[in-house]
Structure 1
Amino acid sequence: MKSNRAQKGKGGKKELDAGLKYSHQSQNVNGFEEGVEFLPANNSRKVEKRGSKRWIVLLAVVIFIFLLSLMVGTLVWHFNSQNARVQKIFNGFLRITNENFIDAYENSNSTEFASLASKVKEALKFLYNGIPALGPFYKESGVTAFSEGSVIAYYWSEFSVPQYMVEEVERAISKEYVLSLPPRSRSLQSFNIDSVVAFPTDARTAQTTRDNSCSFSLHARYGEVTRFTTPGFPDSPYPARARCQWVLRGDADLVLSLTFQTFDVAACDDYGSDVVMVYDSLSPVEPRAVVQLCGTYPPSYNLTFLSSQNVMLVTLITNTVRRHPGFKAVFFQLPKMTECGGRLTGAQGTFSTPYYPGHYPPNIDCTWDIEVPRDKNVKIRFKLFYLVEPHKILRNCTKDYVEINGEKFCGEKPQFVVSSKSNKITVRFHSDESYTDTGFFAEYLSYDSRDPCPGMFTCKTGRCINNTLRCDGWADCTDYSDELGCVCNSTYQFTCKNKLCKPLYWVCDGLNDCGDNSDEQQCSCPAHTFRCGNGKCISESQKCNKQDNCGDGSDEAGCESVWTVPCTTHTYKCLDGVCLSKGNPECDGKSDCSDGSDEKNCDCGLRSFSKQSRIVGGQNSDVGEWPWQVSLHVEGQGHLCGASLISSTWLVSAAHCFVDEPGIRYSDPTLWKAYMGLHDQSQRSAKGVQERGFKQIISHEAFNDFTFDYDIAVLELDKPVEFSSVIRPICLPDSSHTFPAGKTIWVTGWGHTKEGGTGALILQKGEIRVINQTICESLLPNQLTPRMMCVGFLNGGVDACQGDSGGPLSSVEDDERMFLAGVVSWGEGCARRNKPGVYTRVSLLRDWIRKKTGV
């Protein structure tokens, strides 16, 4: 997850009557008496002609005066606009070369600080007055802080600049200056400064230097962690429309490590959102900005940043009145890195950017010289690579980059390989003075150039992949070399016009999977017709005509207007019994039912943290990313199944989890414990985790433990849970809710990470897609019922497995709200090719859930 003006005018002319004109009056024109005489009638034309001249002369005079006024007004406006004064604030820093830093300079209220600051301001005034482009417009300067080296002064300077001079002033201020001429002021004798630099600054940021109401100064101590928060955290929101700053210091020759443990400010938008900036400096200048943050981050997200020196500046500018708690942060000092990189030898090994997986520090260069055995070649495999700048990155990677074999790499990249033609290779990493990222993690490998990937397929990039991934419809090589020159398997693959192979169930799903749209071209209906969701073609005139001509309601579901229609299995029914033409209207933020019932009970399916059976081929989830995920434990056996929280007292799971076996009655609610808010199975007593027992377990009365039809159960907790940032319910879909083929859905759980493997400690997540029911039935003949849905990939790779049973299949809608599309049920093995996972279709069992739970 947007006048024309017309003017009319009219004029007229009253003609002079022919004949005699007589006046008893005389008119004084320009000081002369002019009498009016009798004229013969045959001079009437001459009279009219003379009157016309006067009118033309008068009009010309008026036009001349108007044009003259317009010209004068334009010149005045131009002069005023060009000379209109603009306030320009510049932040900067300079080095005092003949001073040594003392502790008193940390205290802005000390006499030592005031004395040195006075000299700096006088020096700046002297410097700027000597520069023609700056001196006439200079107003004042202020010193905000000092730091080591010998002494660095951080300052702001204000100029009042005519509009037409702004660009010239900015060019002049951007140069680096050295005060080389002897000062005229006696107070500046033997006061030496150099490296005077300044940068244009947002006037809002400059306000922080003059308002100390939300300004803090902190100094790290050896071996200690210092904590700080936004004002009022966590009991009240940070102040609205505030300007706050935290000056962070460490001891000389050390660097600082800053971590935001909790971060929740107003969401990022284009309308002046609240923003936190971190600078590798005590002056808020863009070229020294380390990171810009806004929005909300889960606690597990990496928000650790390093400085290149012993100071840091954190600023918070709030432009909204939204209520957010703010942040909690810690920082400490650590030794400055004396060297970065080194010599690496051996057949293989790993290396990474400094402080990985934290953000690497700014202004650093590292070089690794890698050498493998002489009879081998060497290649570098970058497993993770994040060198992203918030601004546009040039193709030649002029800011942060990795350089190998004369080629530079930057930005965000999937796993890739770089190889050499010998047993040696050099990797150089450069970080400039501004924005940093988490960097890279890489391994170096030795290989035989005659057979670089023994028993595997070699991508043109040098990456090795399993031969089974060749021509499977998925680009496992970043250059697509594993999918080029393939012969598609017509049993389960579609051949695109560009010769790529794609899964058959992606054909006609409304998505351009081939890249040339050939998988969708054969799906179109004739001209002036509409293609229904079930593939049927109807006349365009039958679309949005308040009748279900398609048979599945798709011709009425996407209409701009919503109206009542006869109730069918495809329509949404309001509480008052009225059915709507709109598809999936529940909890979409728009009240479509006249009684508002489609938007009732919608406090569900939203996550405090959103980033963007075990899960085979999945990845670790973030804390709080799936707040409805529940872990079900049996005494003495640990985690056995998953479940989904649908209210403060009810869960949904799979009925097969509670089938009795010889020696143990899994249907006994007293054997089970439910853990909500759990992320790591080894930390069930962690803060935020809530444990509950069960009052009752209700499996569907029609559940068949041979076919797994109606594989659903609801569980009542012995006492309600308290909702939090990591515990929230998921929305239940209406019985008419549709999840079309090709739709992306997430499966989560702590089950086995591979078939026959062991369970995961960290909650896993996997992104899969709904498979066309007809194709799935052809792959699993005589095994599916209408209560089942296939979700996964036909080529395998990502799937649920043992221990994931009963867990949620979460489907996200347009407003980021999640619905429980399915329950993990069964499958043939885990993540096998052409054996997708099978899930209980929750929408068809919605009425049963409501009957048993009231939810």
Structure 2
Amino acid sequence: MERSDGKMRYNTQDPDGETSIQFLPTPDPKPVKKDKGKKWVVAAVVIGAAIIALVIGLLVWRFLKPTTMKKMYGGSMRITSATFQDVYEDSNSTQYQDLAGQVVSQLASMYQNSADLSKHYVGTSVEGFSEGSVIAYYLSEFNVPASQEATVDSAISTISKIRSRMANDAQSLSFDELTLSAVDSRMFQKKLTSKQKFTLHAKGDTPQEITSPGFLNSTYPSNAIILWQLRAARGNVIKLKFDTFMLDDDCSSDFVRVYDSLVEDESCLLAEKCGHYAPTEPVIFFSSGNVMLLTLVTNDEHSYPGFKAYFSQVPASTRECDADLRGSNGNFSSPEYPSYYPPSVDCLWNIEVPTGKYVKVRFLKFLLSDLGYTGSSCQKDYVTIDGQKYCGEKKDVFVVINKSNKMKVLFHSDKSLVDRGFLAEFEAFEPTNPCPDTFRCKNYRCIKPQLKCNGWNDCGDNSDEMNCICNATQISCKNGFCKSPIWKCDGVDDCGDGTDEMGCGTCQSGEVSCQNGKCISEKMKCDGQDNCGDGSDEQNCASVSVVPCTSLTYQCADQKCINKANAECDGTPDCEDGSDEANCDCGRQLFRTSRIVGGQNSLEGEWPWQVSLHIKNQGHVCGASLISDTWLVTAAHCVQDQDSMRLSQPGTWEVYLGLHDQNAKNIERVVKKYLKSVIQHPNYNEYTYDFDIALMQLDSPVTFSQYIMPICLPNPAHDFPVGKSVWITGWGKTQEDGKLAQVLQKAEVRIINSTVCNQLMSNQITSRMLCAGVLSGGVDACQGDSGGPLASLDIGRRYFLPGVVSWGDGCARKNRPGIYTRVTQFRGWIKEKTGV
């Protein structure tokens, strides 16, 4: 529109609807200029206000908008309208991509039909196909507000319950067996900057090796996720065996997961593993079908060597477990025992013993636990006998009987979280004599007659300790139980009726007893003052505080003392200077055990501080404990000169570290060392075995490994309470007058009350000695174990050294405990000589 005579114009509409143009007179030029300036100011203010409003709006939107999270769901569907082709293993093939597109479209349609899912759906990726007809594996991603997470999970659960769907047009799929489950968020966390994926197919029956990246040459990468999709030919299942396994002990840091799937489907998770496992007890898994997924996830904190595994294919037909068992006795086990049983298995054993006899099943090992087991019901994996379900982990042998000559034993595993399974034996018994020549427990377990009324619950249901007539050495409880004298006056009601704590000089009501026998008011307990005179009233308090130093307090490096006796290396910094958690690279069993080991043979690497001392050209004679990279602790009586043998001289000895089998000293993980010096305690008494301790210095430092690791030394105030379970290890004689053991042995014993021990050992026990054993006999150290460790597992999952094997009256005799040098009494001397 043209400008007209310098006048402004605007449009108006007359009553007839026609547009007319009106002209307005122009005001005086000066006022016009002034008004124009005002308008610019107003415009600037408006624009500024608008910008501020926009910023405020954006900030409000930013802080008020719902917080969203990434959710991944993994699953599978069996496509019944397609037949598997080999090209479906190639993700770059046209056939793969076409079928994958149909799967994505099918799932998208299902999600879009759900009001709770459609608005949060991001996309789906197909991760692979397998046979049967065609099984598709996929991951679906959703962006979910935190407040809607439960709603989305519920909607996904509804979809996963769809059993089948027929195609309603040429573009859709017919499918059944659809699954969907939420993927563990650790599998797709943002910090996983490195991702690798491998697809491997089994070749015949030859195992193929799988290793974590960099295995042996370097540690595995940080912040990484590595996936191995494993396949077998149709009609086969996959066997995955970890030959070497060395990851971080903390599964929240680095972990391996094994899935009975080609995708991270939590409903098909078989196991999550971390830590170290000994090569002598490999971890083995089996799939239910011909696919498996192995994953490794790492963080950025610590890296370890990783793992080496082998996978192979095994004919599925060889895994049938149904059987008819006939005869007077026999045995059976869960599929693949002692490996992990496969998922989705049902087995039935029909047991029949001769007519006229009853059948008994004894479960020697029973490991059917899982993350969701509460003990109140058996919903996942279980054994059923006569309608009664059994599951979880049974630490003791248990027996099930049937008052007929027939029994049905059923085993069921669902499709996730497998375990080691069970080992069982059955036998026929006379109805009138179920335990010939033995004692029958109420639970029908049969035990040796000498175990009845020995003060220990050998039956597992205490029936062997009921209605007993106690012998002179036992505590006769008022409720009819007999208890070992080691429990007398230890401050714990072991009888259950207080009998064992009677007549112990117990303080009156409202008072507490000090360790020195003094009684003080309960109000003085943990008040910050040493009212007992020995500091015992300031021990075991709810909070840790600085207190006056006594023999019962822990002294920090800054010389301050705290009221926590066992403060060192428990994972909690208690000293102001943090010294209680310094120098704690000790006492760790790096290898995780399978929980199935029986007998007394130890595992390789189970006791990495155990040392074998050899006289040159003569073999093993004593044990020792590694306490640093250059120092050992042993018994002084091991280094006493004998005739022509100069045992006090370092040149006499050969030292083997990391040794398990005396006949396998030349393998790579065993380290042979020589000595630089031998230091025996100057006060050692060869007649009484008092001060029976010595130190040995290696000629060069040893490198720590999963097979070689020092044990932790306790501070002088460290408390090893009466009754605590401890372990003795060594290659000593397995019985009195027997032969030395070839494989490192282990035995669990208990610390025994020193007063009782002194009575049993004819007043030969000094304050520098510690007693441990099983008073009923049968378990003890013996010749050849001398100088070796007595190991105690403490808070923080570390082993400490309360004692050194010293002496005893024979081996494993009844009421003759083993005697050990009390290491806490020599902590200062050890530090003075070694600096450790």
CA contact (8 A) 2:116 2:152 kept: no
- For residues 661 and 160 of structure 1, the distance between their equivalents in structure 2, rounded to whole angstroms, comes to 79
Counterpart of 1:148, as a letter, is E
1:504 aligns to 2:485 (yes or no)? yes
Aligned to 1:292: 272
Q: Per the alignment, do residues 100 and 212 of structure 1 end up closer, same or farther by CA in structure 2, a change over 3 Å counting?
A: farther
Aligned to 2:465: 483
Matching of residues 101-500 of structure 1 within 5 Å: 101-125=84-108, 140-158=123-141, 163=148, 166=152, 169-185=155-171, 192-202=174-184, 205=187, 213-233=195-215, 237-268=219-250, 273-300=253-280, 302-318=282-298, 321-338=301-318, 339-393=320-374, 395-413=376-394, 414-489=396-471, 491-495=473-477, 498-500=479-481
Q: Which residue among 601, 604, 608 is the counterpart of 2:590?
A: 608
1:780 aligns to 2:745 (yes or no)? no
Aligned to 1:49: none
- For residues 204 and 816 of structure 1, the distance between their equivalents in structure 2, rounded to whole angstroms, comes to 26
CA contact (8 A) 2:613 2:655 kept: yes
Shift of 1:292: 2.2
Q: Per the alignment, do residues 592 and 379 of structure 1 end up closer, same or farther by CA in structure 2, a change over 3 Å counting?
A: closer
- For residues 441 and 125 of structure 1, the distance between their equivalents in structure 2, rounded to whole angstroms, comes to 48
1:93 aligns to 2:76 (yes or no)? yes
- For residues 185 and 832 of structure 2, the distance between their equivalents in structure 1, rounded to whole angstroms, comes to 61
Q: Per the alignment, do residues 547 and 404 of structure 1 end up closer, same or farther by CA in structure 2, a change over 3 Å counting?
A: closer
CA contact (8 A) 1:250 1:311 kept: yes
Shift of 1:307: 0.7
1:730 aligns to 2:711 (yes or no)? yes
Q: Deviations over 1:734-770 (max 9, x none)?
A: 4454433333322222223334444433323333222
- For residues 114 and 256 of structure 2, the distance between their equivalents in structure 1, rounded to whole angstroms, comes to 35
Greater alpha carbon shift after TM alignment, 700-709 vs 218-227: 700-709
Matching of residues 366-765 of structure 1 within 5 Å: 366-393=347-374, 395-413=376-394, 414-489=396-471, 491-495=473-477, 498-515=479-496, 519=500, 525-540=507-522, 543=525, 548-558=530-540, 560=543, 562-563=545-546, 565=548, 583=565, 601-609=583-591, 619-661=600-642, 664=645, 666-667=647-648, 669-765=650-746
CA contact (8 A) 2:357 2:431 kept: yes
Counterpart of 2:257, as a letter, is M
CA contact (8 A) 2:760 2:815 kept: yes
- For residues 388 and 610 of structure 1, the distance between their equivalents in structure 2, rounded to whole angstroms, comes to 17
CA contact (8 A) 2:167 2:174 kept: no
Q: Deviations over 1:62-91 (max 9, x none)?
A: xxxxxxxxxxxxxxx9xx99x999876432
CA contact (8 A) 1:94 1:194 kept: yes
Q: Per the alignment, do residues 184 and 423 of structure 1 end up closer, same or farther by CA in structure 2, a change over 3 Å counting?
A: closer
- For residues 527 and 372 of structure 1, the distance between their equivalents in structure 2, rounded to whole angstroms, comes to 61
Q: Per the alignment, do residues 580 and 352 of structure 1 end up closer, same or farther by CA in structure 2, a change over 3 Å counting?
A: closer
Greater alpha carbon shift after TM alignment, 600-609 vs 761-770: 600-609
CA contact (8 A) 2:475 2:500 kept: no
Counterpart of 1:114, as a letter, is Q
CA contact (8 A) 1:278 1:313 kept: yes
- The DSSP-based 3-state class of the residue aligned with 1:214 is strand
Q: Deviations over 1:749-796 (max 9, x none)?
A: 222333444443332333322212111111111322232221123333
Aligned to 2:6: none
Identity %: 50
Q: Per the alignment, do residues 533 and 417 of structure 1 end up closer, same or farther by CA in structure 2, a change over 3 Å counting?
A: same
- For residues 775 and 693 of structure 1, the distance between their equivalents in structure 2, rounded to whole angstroms, comes to 41
Q: Per the alignment, do residues 653 and 96 of structure 1 end up closer, same or farther by CA in structure 2, a change over 3 Å counting?
A: same
- For residues 704 and 736 of structure 1, the distance between their equivalents in structure 2, rounded to whole angstroms, comes to 25
- The DSSP-based 3-state class of the residue aligned with 1:337 is helix
Counterpart of 2:102, as a letter, is K
- For residues 835 and 700 of structure 1, the distance between their equivalents in structure 2, rounded to whole angstroms, comes to 26
Q: Per the alignment, do residues 517 and 143 of structure 1 end up closer, same or farther by CA in structure 2, a change over 3 Å counting?
A: farther
Q: Per the alignment, do residues 90 and 565 of structure 1 end up closer, same or farther by CA in structure 2, a change over 3 Å counting?
A: closer
Shift of 1:609: 3.9
Counterpart of 1:453, as a letter, is C
Shift of 1:674: 1.3
Counterpart of 2:101, as a letter, is S
Counterpart of 2:462, as a letter, is Y
CA contact (8 A) 1:261 1:328 kept: yes
Q: Deviations over 1:255-301 (max 9, x none)?
A: 111123344445547xx654432111113222211112344545555
Aligned to 1:838: 819
Counterpart of 1:176, as a letter, is I
- The DSSP-based 3-state class of the residue aligned with 2:97 is helix
Q: Per the alignment, do residues 280 and 706 of structure 1 end up closer, same or farther by CA in structure 2, a change over 3 Å counting?
A: same
CA contact (8 A) 2:275 2:592 kept: no
Counterpart of 1:776, as a letter, is C
Which consecutive residues of structure 2, in runs of 5 or more, have no partner in the other structure?
1-60
CA contact (8 A) 1:220 1:331 kept: yes
- The DSSP-based 3-state class of the residue aligned with 1:777 is helix
Greater alpha carbon shift after TM alignment, 162-171 vs 287-296: 162-171
**What is the TM-score of this pair, normalised by structure 1?**
0.80
- The DSSP-based 3-state class of the residue aligned with 1:766 is strand
- For residues 755 and 520 of structure 2, the distance between their equivalents in structure 1, rounded to whole angstroms, comes to 22
- For residues 498 and 281 of structure 2, the distance between their equivalents in structure 1, rounded to whole angstroms, comes to 37
Counterpart of 1:174, as a letter, is S
Greater alpha carbon shift after TM alignment, 392-401 vs 806-815: 392-401
- For residues 393 and 546 of structure 1, the distance between their equivalents in structure 2, rounded to whole angstroms, comes to 42
Aligned length: 764
Question: RMSD over aligned Cα, in angstroms?
Answer: 3.7
- For residues 838 and 261 of structure 1, the distance between their equivalents in structure 2, rounded to whole angstroms, comes to 40
- For residues 196 and 677 of structure 2, the distance between their equivalents in structure 1, rounded to whole angstroms, comes to 54
- The DSSP-based 3-state class of the residue aligned with 2:611 is strand
- For residues 134 and 542 of structure 1, the distance between their equivalents in structure 2, rounded to whole angstroms, comes to 63
Matching of residues 26-65 of structure 1 within 5 Å: none
- For residues 118 and 284 of structure 2, the distance between their equivalents in structure 1, rounded to whole angstroms, comes to 42
- For residues 508 and 638 of structure 1, the distance between their equivalents in structure 2, rounded to whole angstroms, comes to 44
**What is the TM-score of this pair, normalised by structure 2?**
0.82
- For residues 256 and 517 of structure 1, the distance between their equivalents in structure 2, rounded to whole angstroms, comes to 57
Q: Per the alignment, do residues 608 and 207 of structure 1 end up closer, same or farther by CA in structure 2, a change over 3 Å counting?
A: closer
- For residues 95 and 397 of structure 1, the distance between their equivalents in structure 2, rounded to whole angstroms, comes to 29
Aligned to 1:5: none
Q: Per the alignment, do residues 553 and 362 of structure 1 end up closer, same or farther by CA in structure 2, a change over 3 Å counting?
A: same
CA contact (8 A) 1:618 1:766 kept: no
- For residues 607 and 365 of structure 1, the distance between their equivalents in structure 2, rounded to whole angstroms, comes to 36
Q: Per the alignment, do residues 551 and 372 of structure 1 end up closer, same or farther by CA in structure 2, a change over 3 Å counting?
A: same
- The DSSP-based 3-state class of the residue aligned with 2:317 is coil
